Amino acid sequence: MNRAPLLFLGAFFAVAFSWTGIILSNQIAYGKLTPVIDQSDNKAYPLPISGQAQQGKLVYQDLGCMYCHTQQVRRPGYGADDLRGWGDRQSVARDYIREQRVLLGTMRTGPDLRNIGARQTSTEWHYLHLYDPQLTSAGSNMPPFAFLFEKRKIVGEPSPKALRLPPAYAPEAGWEIVPTERAESLVTYLLSLKDTYTYPDEARRVYVAPAANPEGKK
Amino acid sequence: MASGTNLSESLNPATSSEAVKRAELSEIDASTKIPALFFLCSALGWILIGTIFALIASFKMHTPGFLGDAEWLTFGRVRTAHLNAVIYGWASNASFLVIIWLMARLSRSLLRHPILLLTAGVFWNVGVTIGIYGILTGDSTSIEWLEIPPYATPLLFVAYALMGVWAVIMFRFGKSPHIYVSQWYILAALFWFPWIYSVAQIMTIWAPARGTVQALVNWWFAHNVLGLWFTPIGLASVYYFLPKVLGKPIHSYYLSVLGFWSLAIFYNWAGVHHLVGGPVPAWVQTAGIAASIMMLIPVVVTGINHHMTMIGSFNALRYSPTLRFIVFGAVNYTLVSVIGSFMSLRGWAEITHFTQHTIAHAHHGLYAFFTMVMFGAIYYILPRLLLKEWPSAALISVHFWATAVGSLIMVLVLTVGGFHQGLLLNTPKLANTLGLQPGTDPVPFLEVVRVMNKYLVSRSLSGILIFVGHLAFAVNVVWMLLKPRSAEVTAPTLFRNPPEMEVVTR
């Protein structure tokens, strides 16, 4: 193998082949998927998320939440995602088309969050959990995100947003712990995470019915 | 110009035969000295920084409150800083060192304008530094392996292009009529990396593809960083240093050719196995799995080739530090790749996909294979750049045993731990299969977390061991840089002197 041009040509075609196969062909096949307009409520699914939730997604990205939390539900029968209550159906490509950045994740040190907004609807729970995960999930190895909260002196009335902490965590009298704007955006984002809509097309072609466990755990 | 006397004392019988050839090699080595030393020192700095980040991240996994108030060191950031420091800092700088040094030698070409290459190297490291600072202060892109924020990546790209051009120029204007197998790998890698890097940057950050096509781009890139950048450089080093130290040719030319082209064809399809079970078309997942299995061909072929070269010379492992690191790496290349092929299978991935099993595999490949090979290469290269020998064989020994044992413990613990984690995560399904009461979940999520603790603690301990190895290495390198060159001819530093060396060393 003493001819450099041959080497370069071979190296070029090898990668060109996979680029065409993996990326280009899929870009052509489903790179232009569009939202589905539901005739009954005249909304386009997946629904767009609010500006504040978008801000929250940036917080999610900058703190690196995706290194422990996936955002993809595997089909019923493959793994136990449905049985753990992480989603009623599997995630499909259309769920992600509005996302500027797709955060599928590859690690489940913590649970999947694709439907956390449907599963854990309490804002207060999320604040406490972020402030110190031990408050809501004793034994968790999620780090505390207390730096997303502000300790401040109560001036006049206490803030309605102030965390209701158990005595061991509560600040001294006259002080309160309130979420910063970043914490508020992050929780708004988390609450926006829910793929509850059933796309008619995917329901016919892709969805796998939950088989073994009809009356079981959601 | 330094004469080749130092080299003549080398363990290597192949070069010690002709004085002229030696003088030329010596001159070539000297021409690479400035940039090569720069890459070495940068690589060394990054591996220490990267290991410290790794230890912090590792402690946090079992003691989440550790440094919990420091936002810039929160797990998601420090883990990412670790990855980027070792990939773009340590591994890439070590690769540049090996590339320019090997390329100059194999092409029989002097390195011209070393200062310009040095500038490129400085740019690269400034880019990585800005990138990691950006990650720690919250500008990470959160795209795995591409986290460096977009304000630093153009710098990396330009610096890389400059270094690639230098290597190609050396190749083009060299005096060697042959292209050795190491050069195939290096040339191909230099061509592949900028391609995949620029495509990935464009399609995920500058003009992101819609939906999960992004994820395909992401894993096409992230797997190819290993397959088309680090693996070729690692293999190029094995192909060079193994026969060099042993003083005999590689077993089979044809196996080398087959190994190279099958790697080129199959490796770059394999990345999709990171998305098995995910929201991307099933056919492309299957293609990724098929390619991963096909990777058995280059891996087995290369493994046989190296093994057949090594056969009859295993005794040399007792003496030569370079050989010991290189062989350890080469063996782990075969192991990690074979395991990796099977990890891609749907049945296996169902259990291990989102677990520490993957982390074990990543460290098996990038550490036990690639990093160990780079250590071996550095043990060979540095004495020839500085014309002096390693100051302490004992430190080399500590380095080898700490990193070898540390990395194997880590891989073992996380492989088993990840499998355990995956089985526990799937228990509701197992319960169904076993016909337990519907909806039973024998192992709730927090119980999985609790069970994983012991594996994570063990991983931290193995990490400390590895860090000790790195410290020994760093001390040895700095000591070597600072110690005066000995006036008389010195013998290479070996773990112990082989019988035939006793004559030479008086």
Residues 339-378 of B with CB under 8 A from A: 346, 350, 353-355, 358-359
Sorted by where each begins, the domain ranges of chain A are: 36-205
Q: Which of B77, B79, B184 sits opposite A7 (nearest CB)?
A: B184
Q: CA of A14 to nearest chain B CA: how many angstroms apart? A: 5
Ramachandran quadrant class, B475 (left: phi over 0; alpha: psi -120 to 50; beta: rest): alpha
* Statement: residue A213 has pLDDT above 50: no
* Statement: residue B226 has pLDDT above 80: yes
Q: Looking at the complex, does the CB of residue A71 fall below 8 Å from at least one CB of chain B? A: no
Q: Helices (H), strands (E): how many in chain B?
A: 21, 0
* Statement: residue B41 has pLDDT above 70: yes
Amino acid at A207: Y
Residue range A138-166: average pLDDT?
Answer: 94
Q: Do B211 and A30 touch (CB under 8 A)?
A: yes
Q: Looking at the complex, does the CB of residue B68 fall below 8 Å from at least one CB of chain A? A: yes
| pLDDT reported for residue B494 | 86
C-alpha angle B37-B92-B115 in degrees, rounded to nearest 5: 40
Say if CB A62 and CB B138 are below 8 A apart: yes
* Statement: residue B6 has pLDDT above 90: no
Per-residue model confidence as pLDDT tens digits over B299-315: 999 999 999 999 999 99
| pLDDT reported for residue B22 | 83
Mutate to test the interface with B, among A13, A45, A62, A99 (most CBs of B within 10 A): A62
Amino acid at B250: I
Lowest mean pLDDT among A67-81, B7-21, B213-227, B393-407: B7-21
Round to whole Å and give the CA distance between B252 and B113. 37
Bridge partners of A179?
A149
* Statement: residue A118 has pLDDT above 90: yes
Residue range B233-254: average pLDDT?
Answer: 95
Q: CA of A152 to nearest chain B CA: how many angstroms apart? A: 17
* Statement: residue B72 has pLDDT above 60: yes
User: Please, which pLDDT band fits residue A217 given cuts at 50, 70 and 90?
Assistant: very low
Q: Looking at the complex, does the CB of residue A23 fall below 8 Å from at least one CB of chain B? A: yes
In chain B, which residues have their Cβ closer than 8 Å to the Cβ of A143?
60, 64-65, 68, 74-75
User: Please, which pLDDT band fits residue B439 given cuts at 50, 70 and 90?
Assistant: low
Residue range B2-8: average pLDDT?
Answer: 43
* Statement: residue B466 has pLDDT above 80: yes
In chain B, which residues have their Cβ closer than 8 Å to the Cβ of A77?
429
Which stretch of DSSP H or E encloses residue A178?
A: strand A175-179
Q: Which of B140, B208, B271 sits opposite A62 (nearest CB)?
A: B140
In the three-class reduction of DSSP (H, G, I as helix; E, B as strand; rest coil), residue B158 is classed as helix
In chain A, which residues have their Cβ closer than 8 Å to the Cβ of B449?
109, 139-141
Round to whole Å and give the CA distance between A19 and B197. 12
User: Please, which pLDDT band fits residue B431 given cuts at 50, 70 and 90?
Assistant: confident
Per-residue model confidence as pLDDT tens digits over A46-92: 999 999 999 999 999 999 999 999 999 999 989 999 999 999 899 99
Round to whole Å and give the CA distance between A132 and A138. 10
Q: Looking at the complex, does the CB of residue B75 fall below 8 Å from at least one CB of chain A? A: yes
* Statement: residue A13 has pLDDT above 80: yes
Q: CA of A7 to nearest chain B CA: how many angstroms apart? A: 7
Residue range A196-208: average pLDDT?
Answer: 88
DSSP assignment of B291-308 equals: HHHHTHHHHHHHHHHHHH
Amino acid at B282: A
Q: Do A26 and B438 touch (CB under 8 A)?
A: no
Q: CA of B138 to nearest chain A CA: how many angstroms apart? A: 4
Per-residue model confidence as pLDDT tens digits over A160-196: 999 999 999 999 999 999 999 999 999 999 999 999 8
Per-residue model confidence as pLDDT tens digits over A28-47: 999 999 999 999 999 999 99
Q: Do A147 and B71 touch (CB under 8 A)?
A: yes
Per-residue model confidence as pLDDT tens digits over B187-211: 999 999 999 999 999 999 999 999 9
| pLDDT reported for residue B503 | 45
* Statement: residue B504 has pLDDT above 50: no
In chain B, which residues have their Cβ closer than 8 Å to the Cβ of A102?
211-212, 214-215
| pLDDT reported for residue B7 | 46
- pLDDT > 90 fraction of chain A, expressed in percent and rounded: 86
Say if CB B59 and CB B106 are below 8 A apart: no
* Statement: residue B501 has pLDDT above 60: no
Alpha carbon B371 to chain centroid, angstroms: 4
Residue range B205-233: average pLDDT?
Answer: 96
In chain B, which residues have their Cβ closer than 8 Å to the Cβ of A217?
428, 438-439, 441
Round to whole Å and give the CA distance between B456 and B417. 8
Q: Do B272 and A17 touch (CB under 8 A)?
A: no
Say if CB A70 and CB B354 are below 8 A apart: yes
User: What mean pLDDT value characterizes chain B?
Assistant: 92
| pLDDT reported for residue B85 | 98
| pLDDT reported for residue B262 | 96
User: Please, which pLDDT band fits residue B500 given cuts at 50, 70 and 90?
Assistant: low
Amino acid at B107: S
Interface size between A and B, measured as CB pairs under 8 A: 239
Q: Which of B142, B268, B433 sits opposite A103 (nearest CB)?
A: B142
Residue range A148-156: average pLDDT?
Answer: 94
Q: Where would I find the H helices in A23-98?
A: 25-30, 51-63
Round to whole Å and give the CA distance between A86 and A112. 6
| pLDDT reported for residue B93 | 98
Q: CA of B178 to nearest chain A CA: how many angstroms apart? A: 6
Say if CB B356 and CB B452 are below 8 A apart: yes
Q: Which residues contact A194 (CB under 8 A, 6 or more apart)?
A: A115, A116, A117, A118
Domains of chain B in start order, with CATH, are 32-178 (1.20.120)
In chain A, which residues have their Cβ closer than 8 Å to the Cβ of B204?
101
Q: Do B76 and A213 touch (CB under 8 A)?
A: no
In chain A, which residues have their Cβ closer than 8 Å to the Cβ of B288?
22
Chain B: residue whose CA lies nearest to A94: B211
Strand A43-45 relative to strand A149-153, pairing: unpaired
In chain A, which residues have their Cβ closer than 8 Å to the Cβ of B209?
23, 27, 31
| pLDDT reported for residue B220 | 97
| pLDDT reported for residue B495 | 85
Look up the CATH number of domain A36-205: 1.10.760.10
User: Please, which pLDDT band fits residue B485 given cuts at 50, 70 and 90?
Assistant: confident
Q: Do B428 and A217 touch (CB under 8 A)?
A: yes
Q: Residue A152: phi, psi to the nearest 5?
A: -145, 160
* Statement: residue A215 has pLDDT above 60: no
Q: Which residues contact A185 (CB under 8 A, 6 or more apart)?
A: A52, A53, A55, A56, A58, A59
Q: Do B143 and A101 touch (CB under 8 A)?
A: yes
Q: Looking at the complex, does the CB of residue A175 fall below 8 Å from at least one CB of chain B? A: no
Nearest Cα neighbor of A92 from A1, A2, A184, A207 is A207
Predicted-complex ipTM score: 0.93
Residue B286 or residue A213, greater confidence: B286
Q: How far is CA B429 from CA A72, A78, B232, in A?
A: 18, 9, 41
Ramachandran quadrant class, B249 (left: phi over 0; alpha: psi -120 to 50; beta: rest): beta
* Statement: residue A136 has pLDDT above 60: yes
Q: Looking at the complex, does the CB of residue A15 fall below 8 Å from at least one CB of chain B? A: yes
Q: Looking at the complex, does the CB of residue B445 fall below 8 Å from at least one CB of chain A? A: yes
